[in-house]
Amino acid sequence: MVRKVKVLFLDRDGTINRDIGTYVTTREQFQLIKGADVAIALAKQAGYEIVIITNQAGIAKGIVTPEQVEDIHVYLNELLAVRNTSFDRSYYCPTHPDYPHPEYDRFAWCRKPETGMVDQAVADYLSSGVEVDKMQSFFIGDKTVDVECGLRAGLRPILVRTGHGEEELCHERRITPEFVADNLYQAITEYVLLNAC
């Protein structure tokens, strides 16, 4: 019998950390949104795996390097360690359709709203003997592409009003999240943890 896990797939910029209007390149620019770390700790305690799913087209644009992105993720886990928690996996997509790049164009399948990063995470869990229970798994983000990615991947999408907070745009495009929260803390404490199957 394959063990099943429930996962919170989390967008990064504007959901976990403040959107600074450009790509985060340094640890100093990476500032947690209030309560995000506590919320992640509570979700982990409730048995959720935490997986970061982030578009980082700044790589193809030459603004940020893969090494910088990876260092920021190390830093995020250092910040989460203060709350005795951590994220489990992270995936970033380096491409942008307007910035062709010989090294990164082969990753176009992963840019949200494409589901490539979620699919890869699901495959990686499976190869470690664990099946992602999509009915119990959520995708939380601040943009329409996050909600759309969650829907396409068969996950339960939640929009947060931090970052870009694209509530209007979701409505216009009829890309409907299951819930809209003021921030990640509210999404997790007032919805995810109360609505687990």
Binding residues (CB under 5 A) for Mg ion: these are: 11, 13-14, 142, 163
Q: Are 108 and 102 in contact (CB under 8 A)?
A: no
Nearest distance, CB of residue 59 and Mg ion, angstroms: 16
When the beta carbons of 136 and 149 are compared against Mg ion, the nearer one is: 149
Nearer to Mg ion among residue 44 and residue 164 (C-beta): 164
Q: Of 150 and 163, which CB lies nearer to Mg ion in the complex structure? A: 163
Residue nearest to Mg ion (CB): 14
CB of 136 to Mg ion, least distance (A): 23
Residue entry with tokens 């603004």: 63
> At residue 53, what is the residue type?
I
Tell me if 71 sits within 8 A of 56, measured CB to CB: no
Catalytic residues: 11, 13
Beta partners for residue 5, in sequence order = 132
Closest CB 83 distance from Mg ion, rounded Å: 21
- Residues 173 and 169: their CA atoms lie apart, in Å, by 6
Which residues make beta-bridge pairs with 158?
140, 179
Task: Output the CA torsion 126→127→129→134 (10° steps).
Answer: -10
What minimum distance in Å lies between the beta carbon of 14 and Mg ion? 4
Of 109, 106, 80, 81, give the one whose Cα is nearest residue 12: 80
- Per DSSP (E only), the strands in 78-178 are 89-93, 130-132, 138-141, 156-160
Q: Which is nearer to Mg ion, 37 or 142 (CB)?
A: 142
How far the first Cα of the chain sits from its last, in Å, is: 20
For Mg ion, the closer CB: 16 or 132 = 16
Q: How far is the CB of 143 from Mg ion (least distance, A)?
A: 5
